[in-house]
Structure 1
Amino acid sequence: MGLSEDTKPKSDAYEGEEMVEATGLRQRNKSNGANGETEDNPLSVEQVFESKPVPSWREQLTFRAFVVAFFLAVLFSIIVMKLNLTTGIIPSLNVSAGLLGFFFVRMWTVGLEKWGFLKQPFTRQENTVIQTAVVAAYGLAFSGGFGSYMFGMSSRIAKQATEADDPSDIKDPKLSWMIGFMFCVSFIGLFALVPLRKIMIVDYKLIYPSGTATAYLINGFHTPEGAKLAKKQVKILGKFFAGSFVWGFFQWFYTGGDGCGFSSFPTLGLKAYANKFYFDFSPTYVGVGMICPYIVNVSVLLGGIISYGLMWPLINNKKGEWYPANLSKSSLHGLQGYKVFISIAMILGDGMYNFVKVFSHTLFAIYKAYKNKSGLPITDSDGRVVPAETISFDDKKRTELFLKDQIPKKFALGGYICVAIISIITLPHIFKPLKWYYILVAYLLAPVLAFCNAYGCGLTDWSLASTYGKLAIFTIGAWAGKGDGGVLAGLAACGVMMSIVSTAADLMQDFKTGYMTLASPRSMFVSQVIGTAMGCVIAPCVFWLFYKAFNDLGLSGSDYPAPYAIVYRNMAILGVDGFGSLPHNCLKLCYGFFFAAILINLIRDFTPKNISRYIPLPMAMAIPFYIGPYFAIDMCVGSLILFIWEKINKVQADQFGPAVASGMICGDGLWTLPQSILSLAKVNPPICMKFLSRKDNIKVDDFISSW
């Protein structure tokens, strides 16, 4: 599950799903009794599928797979873009992609089979291809920086930063250069680690928990019992999808003005509403709360209470003493500066700690394997260490097929060099301050950093792509210097570095999924390339739709504040300017929260698990410091729904909870598309529903009656 823009600890969220799928498959095997299977000796996953032939890598790449992948990529890109521009909390939609991919192709094949036109049955390998292409495409709506570094280059964000607003540090969004930039930087990560896939997947047996969990889901869908469960899950998803879409449409009628509609309902009182504590009736955030681990939702709420409940009211009382009283709300020299820079300090503290932790863990594991002159301990599907001589039937068959379709090393090296040359020539024309030698240095270092990120992701399921991107912001920004487009150069370099290391880790996750579903590495690579090409066009177009439809996009207090855009721009400003422009005592508070984030992480790692699971996550706490805690209320409502459901029927909650949440997220997310079209067509909602205090209502009534 995605936690935030920075680091995404998926393993906690997937653990339950993974165990449910694995246990469910074993239970189905025990009840089978065929082919010599007994209750004490159940068939393994690949023994269940042994009677089904594995299609060639070309047969796995079907036209229908990419048609379905394209439409799902559009849907999920809209959802991810909406979340990216509101809170920055992105849940994993892999389950939804797998479910909907299964459902739509199954409908396709059932229809053709009924009329006698079906030539190729639907396989788990084809399902894996769809899921890979969809995730590669919608992933660019997140890693493309439309809610962070790329939008942070715009004049709209620069005006809020009130620093570095020189034209050389600004580049406003345009569809042409955004698509060109995406094509330049999004493919090179695919070539960086292809030669190391055998080492990562076969030799070191890295788990890649998210890739493993996705494989369990797909394998489960394509067993007879799994197909029945998947159909039920999709039916539930469809019901909540429709309900969420209709609810979004209904709410729209009451939003005919600023602060109107159900999203402005002061559910906890007007005073709490003024401090952004309210339930805004958003199916998206309720669904996100059902998917994210409980500790994430509680951490976000705790961060909102500390910031908007305590700190900001206290600092606001220092107006005129700590900062001038006549500043605008958006000025970073006032209260807004404390909000932005303290949240940056927590993000950097948490990111730096996890970078050091994962990086050192990776280096130690590599050193240990080299010293012992052997690979890492081999593990089975449940993560248990097994002796090499007892490698299972499943692992033997998976390894055999995984090594069958080789991707030539010369092809990978040549692809990396060609794409790097194109980028080095092209990017300086898109971003004038980004010199060709900055890009060359980034591409020389990128394979090593991509390896570290992919290796660490395989061990811990943490991708630190944004941390590497922040390092690029500070190093390239400082190298370019103030007054010479250093801010723009740093933000562009962030995109270059972040795209490489993120794509490399995602590709290895997909290789792990393909390894466990017997999908060919070649089909995985091709589907990743096609999905990435889709995303390079779809993601900028979806962002452009938001940008043109909502004139207040990126403004603080709007429906789409894009919180990380101002955060990233201010990181770049810090990189070239230093700390001299911060408000009074802001730097001291930043130091305090930076080290507090590190200390909290240390406590989490060095206390027993039964205690540490109740310790909040600093990264999640940092998000409401800037945008407020209103979405945390919704997420906690989602957690409460899931908690009660689990108490009533845990098996049912585990099976259908993700489908309910996905339906709510998808339906509300899809409503954004017609809402944007209505906005572009200048069709405004007919009603404004506002909430006033009794005293204000009397004043309004008196004013109206005096006319």
Structure 2
Amino acid sequence: MVRSIDNHNDDHQDGWETEALDNGDQQSTDKVLVEAAFKGTPVPPWNKQITVRAVVTSLVLSLVFNFIVCKLNLTTGVIPSLNVAAGLLGFAVVKTWTTVLEKLGLLKQPFTRQENTVIQTCVVASSGIAFSSGTASYLLGMSPLVSGQGDSGNTPENVKRLSLGWMIGFLFVVSFVGLFSIVTLRKIMILKYKLTYPSGTATAYLINSFHTPKGAKLAKKQVAVLFKSFAVSFVWAFFQWFYTAVDGCGFSNFPTFGLQAYDKKFYFDFSSTYIGVGMICPYMVNVSMLLGAIFSWGVLWPIIEGKKGVWYSAELSPTSLHGLQGYKVFIAISMMLGDGLYHVLFMLIKTIHSLIVKNSGKKDSSVVAPGASVLDSETADYDEIRRTEFFMKDQIPNKVALSGYVVLAIISVIVVPFIFHQLKWYHILVAYAIAPILAFCNAYGCGLTDWSLASNYGKLAIIIFSSWVGLNNGGVVAGLASCGVMMSIVSTASDLMQDFKTGYLTLSSPRSMFFAQVIGTAIGCIMSPMVFWFFYKAYPIGDPNGTYPAPYGLLYRGIALLGVEGISSLPKNCLNLVIVFFLIAFAINLIKELLQRYETKLGLHRFVPSPMCMAIPFYLGGFFGIDMCVGSLILFLWERRNKQQATDFAPAVASGLICGDSLWGVPAAILSLLNVKPPICMKFLSAAVNAKVDSFLEGN
């Protein structure tokens, strides 16, 4: 499932995954054909689905994907779907290995789709911790560098120095609880309510297609394309490095549209990462970011900047939250909260309505007991009977799930206050008391719409607990830490249910899915902080003018400050703008929903921008939105030329571009740690400044 620092990217998964699902539906018009194709293939028991080679492959790919997600988190926070890359690379690695062993006559166990599903589950679970760990959001918001960018809340009680030890400990304490929170509802979600979980379904169709003869051939071609685009992206990133001797140098600071536009953060920065991201994300997501950048940096900020000395003091530093920076941060937050509140309310209403409708009707006859015949249910077919039969095997006892949640919750209640003394045991107890309800709502809503609202529940937790604790008692750190507790539970719960859906469609055992998620979570709890620490030591993480600005660190801290200080922390007239943009975000979503429901001829809802996506460039600028729109343009032209080829290979090309550019960050960070600097600085000056520089040099 797709993740991002915020749920704006939950809409992103409507990109390739929807297309993949459409392709799967085309392939499975006659449902019997799906499982009939595997009728002669034995299904291994659950403990044979989790193999040593699967775990080793997952470990290696988890390292790769953690670097990718960490870099994306620390730049813009926009993370595309990496499910296709995880499934495809997992297939490529193990298939290559088993083919070699088979030729040598040493193959003992063939590579199955169940093992492929286990690998994909492990990798996505591990890289998902990079999302819920908050290393680029709520944890970073506690750090001295981020807290020092504001004028208020910068007290010892509201600042916590990051340390690798307590970060890993905190993640281990809170990340596993969500796995037990709704595992008892898996049969209701998958069999009774038959929730679609589009991401899990699309992934299952991809894996099923990989392991059919035709699908395996296509997968091999996709792997070849992925590695070609990976090599091009990596070499291009390496080439760019030579021109970045100091900050502000290189192709990433190319004033594409002129120096004046560059000052307003409008330029193309030649990032293959975000070109790839743009190829995966829906068109309207990328356009929304560009529109947000044009409106904020082209219209709104220049107007507010003209009020310097009237609305706010002209003597304030550029990073002060009581100056222009405050308007940028809090208006962006208001749009995110407006968008988030709408989706929470919408999902809550939709969940309640769906439950009422389902429970008021007759018993769902489509739930087939193991061993039932086709005659037992009019809606039952061979696929459903076979899938239900295997889904009902190897069950996880409800007593184990409930006792696991209670035991892990007790451990968290005891341990978390030692890590964050600002939080008391009763704060954690309250969080764990309400978390299963929110986890159910999120998992159910995700099954209906593919939207995960984990970050929105986290923001609500920040406001509630930070105001409860208060500024003098460390409410900022308390709110940010409670965000981590809530996000970890809500996010992992919906992820697990997605995996159960994938396992259901690939005949993978629920027990193997659960343990694969546990293994992936454990890998992520160690690997995600270590990868972040690697970047943290090599670069000034959180510096708005640095290579890795990590914008959500300051944004999440701003939400906590809003909770402890209220509206008194806002600059003059900022409250009015905050309310206006909050309502605008809410209204845009409402208009989109009404158009989607009542205007079906022209499909105008497709052209309504996303408020969450518009809010991201309010703080960062438009350069990455331009990159992503270039990716959209490439995809559009490719589809016009050959739609089927674009559908088959665009995700692989995009994944390769993202992987290559992101993985260059590893050797670049190592060189930075070794104080090896690039030999050239490529910088652009205006003609007037250049004349002054020439004059100065001639004078010396």
1:129-140 superposed matches below 5 A: 129-140=118-129
Contact 1:555 1:561 in 2 (8 A): yes
Letter paired with 1:567:
L
Q: CA deviation at 1:326?
A: 1.6
1:130-169 superposed matches below 5 A: 130-169=119-158
Q: CA deviation at 1:351?
A: 0.1
Contact 2:4 2:131 in 1 (8 A): no
Tell me the residue number matched to 1:625. Answer: 618
1:338 is aligned to 2:327 = yes
1:312 is aligned to 2:310 = no
Relative to structure 1, the CA distance from residue 377 to residue 336 in structure 2 (aligned partners, 3 Å threshold; closer, same or farther) is farther
Question: Which deviates further from its counterpart, 465-474 or 201-210?
Answer: 465-474
Choose which of 519, 537, 541 in structure 1 pairs with 2:508. Answer: 519
Tell me the residue number matched to 1:562. Answer: 550
Tell me the residue number matched to 2:381. Answer: 392
Q: CA deviation at 1:697?
A: 1.1
Q: CA deviation at 1:447?
A: 1.1
Contact 1:5 1:90 in 2 (8 A): no
Q: CA deviation at 1:429?
A: 0.5
Tell me the residue number matched to 1:21. Answer: 24
Q: CA deviation at 1:378?
A: 8.2
Letter paired with 1:590:
V
Tell me the residue number matched to 1:5. Answer: 6
Relative to structure 1, the CA distance from residue 676 to residue 118 in structure 2 (aligned partners, 3 Å threshold; closer, same or farther) is same
Secondary structure at the counterpart of residue 9 of structure 1:
helix
Question: Which deviates further from its counterpart, 179-188 or 358-367?
Answer: 358-367
Count, aligned residues:
685
Cα distance in structure 1, aligned partners of 2:578 and 2:397: 49
Tell me the residue number matched to 2:685. Answer: 692
Choose which of 271, 276, 279 in structure 2 pairs with 1:290. Answer: 279
Q: CA deviation at 1:488?
A: 0.8
Contact 1:481 1:576 in 2 (8 A): yes
Choose which of 231, 238, 260 in structure 2 pairs with 1:242. Answer: 231
Tell me the residue number matched to 2:633. Answer: 640
Q: CA deviation at 1:557?
A: 2.0
Tell me the residue number matched to 2:572. Answer: 584
Letter paired with 1:600:
I
1:595 is aligned to 2:583 = yes
1:62 is aligned to 2:51 = yes
Q: CA deviation at 1:89?
A: 0.7
Tell me the residue number matched to 1:382. Answer: none
1:706 is aligned to 2:694 = no
Relative to structure 1, the CA distance from residue 163 to residue 373 in structure 2 (aligned partners, 3 Å threshold; closer, same or farther) is farther
Relative to structure 1, the CA distance from residue 624 to residue 605 in structure 2 (aligned partners, 3 Å threshold; closer, same or farther) is same
Cα distance in structure 2, aligned partners of 1:665 and 1:24: 29
Cα deviation, 1:8-40, whole Å, max 9, x if unaligned, reads 1255222212112332466xxxxxxxxxxxxxx
Secondary structure at the counterpart of residue 547 of structure 2:
coil
Contact 2:5 2:552 in 1 (8 A): no
Q: CA deviation at 1:161?
A: 2.2
Tell me the residue number matched to 2:373. Answer: none
Q: CA deviation at 1:325?
A: 1.1
Tell me the residue number matched to 1:33. Answer: none
Relative to structure 1, the CA distance from residue 377 to residue 568 in structure 2 (aligned partners, 3 Å threshold; closer, same or farther) is farther
Tell me the residue number matched to 2:372. Answer: none
Contact 2:339 2:585 in 1 (8 A): yes
TM-score, length basis structure 1: 0.95
Contact 2:3 2:81 in 1 (8 A): yes
Q: CA deviation at 1:581?
A: 2.2
1:601-620 superposed matches below 5 A: 601-607=589-595, 608-609=599-600, 610-620=603-613
Q: CA deviation at 1:366?
A: 1.1
Cα distance in structure 1, aligned partners of 2:182 and 2:38: 30
Question: Which deviates further from its counterpart, 445-454 or 225-234?
Answer: 445-454
Cα distance in structure 1, aligned partners of 2:344 and 2:680: 50
Secondary structure at the counterpart of residue 44 of structure 1:
helix
Cα distance in structure 1, aligned partners of 2:302 and 2:474: 37
Q: CA deviation at 1:374?
A: 3.1
Tell me the residue number matched to 2:665. Answer: 672
Contact 1:431 1:492 in 2 (8 A): yes
Q: CA deviation at 1:540?
A: 0.3
Tell me the residue number matched to 1:36. Answer: none
Cα distance in structure 1, aligned partners of 2:588 and 2:550: 27
Cα deviation, 1:118-170, whole Å, max 9, x if unaligned, reads 00000000000000000000001111101111111111111112211111111
Letter paired with 1:679:
S
**RMSD of aligned C-alpha atoms?**
1.5
1:261 is aligned to 2:250 = yes
Cα distance in structure 1, aligned partners of 2:411 and 2:239: 49
Contact 1:545 1:676 in 2 (8 A): yes
Relative to structure 1, the CA distance from residue 251 to residue 376 in structure 2 (aligned partners, 3 Å threshold; closer, same or farther) is farther
Contact 2:443 2:497 in 1 (8 A): yes
Tell me the residue number matched to 2:444. Answer: 455
Cα distance in structure 2, aligned partners of 1:360 and 1:349: 17
Cα distance in structure 2, aligned partners of 1:378 and 1:555: 54
Cα distance in structure 2, aligned partners of 1:690 and 1:465: 41
Contact 1:424 1:440 in 2 (8 A): yes
Letter paired with 2:577:
L
Q: CA deviation at 1:462?
A: 0.6
Cα distance in structure 2, aligned partners of 1:292 and 1:388: 40
Letter paired with 1:248:
A
Cα distance in structure 1, aligned partners of 2:247 and 2:22: 47
Q: CA deviation at 1:388?
A: 5.1
Cα distance in structure 1, aligned partners of 2:32 and 2:538: 55
Cα distance in structure 2, aligned partners of 1:618 and 1:161: 25
Cα deviation, 1:223-252, whole Å, max 9, x if unaligned, reads 000000000001000001011111111111
Cα deviation, 1:578-604, whole Å, max 9, x if unaligned, reads 011211111111111000001100110
Choose which of 35, 38, 53 in structure 1 pairs with 2:42. Answer: 53
Cα distance in structure 1, aligned partners of 2:32 and 2:350: 36
Question: Which deviates further from its counterpart, 66-75 or 2-11?
Answer: 2-11
Letter paired with 1:588:
N
1:227 is aligned to 2:216 = yes
Cα distance in structure 1, aligned partners of 2:71 and 2:44: 38
Q: CA deviation at 1:482?
A: 2.0
Tell me the residue number matched to 2:341. Answer: 352
Cα deviation, 1:358-391, whole Å, max 9, x if unaligned, reads 0110011112222225349889xxxxxxx95122
Tell me the residue number matched to 1:366. Answer: 355
Q: CA deviation at 1:188?
A: 0.4
Tell me the residue number matched to 2:674. Answer: 681
Cα distance in structure 2, aligned partners of 1:393 and 1:359: 35
Secondary structure at the counterpart of residue 607 of structure 2:
coil
1:101 is aligned to 2:101 = no
Contact 1:473 1:493 in 2 (8 A): yes
Relative to structure 1, the CA distance from residue 12 to residue 376 in structure 2 (aligned partners, 3 Å threshold; closer, same or farther) is farther
Q: CA deviation at 1:57?
A: 0.3
Tell me the residue number matched to 2:475. Answer: 486
Contact 1:251 1:261 in 2 (8 A): yes
Tell me the residue number matched to 1:574. Answer: 562
Identity of aligned residues (%): 60
Choose which of 635, 646, 650 in structure 1 pairs with 2:643. Answer: 650
Tell me the residue number matched to 2:428. Answer: 439
Q: What are structure 1's unaligned runs of at least 5 residues?
A: 27-40, 380-386
Letter paired with 2:335:
M
Cα distance in structure 2, aligned partners of 1:461 and 1:234: 27
Secondary structure at the counterpart of residue 569 of structure 2:
coil
Q: CA deviation at 1:606?
A: 0.3
Tell me the residue number matched to 1:32. Answer: none
TM-score, length basis structure 2: 0.96
Relative to structure 1, the CA distance from residue 675 to residue 641 in structure 2 (aligned partners, 3 Å threshold; closer, same or farther) is same
Cα distance in structure 1, aligned partners of 2:14 and 2:31: 28
Contact 2:31 2:383 in 1 (8 A): no
Secondary structure at the counterpart of residue 148 of structure 2:
helix
Contact 1:149 1:494 in 2 (8 A): yes
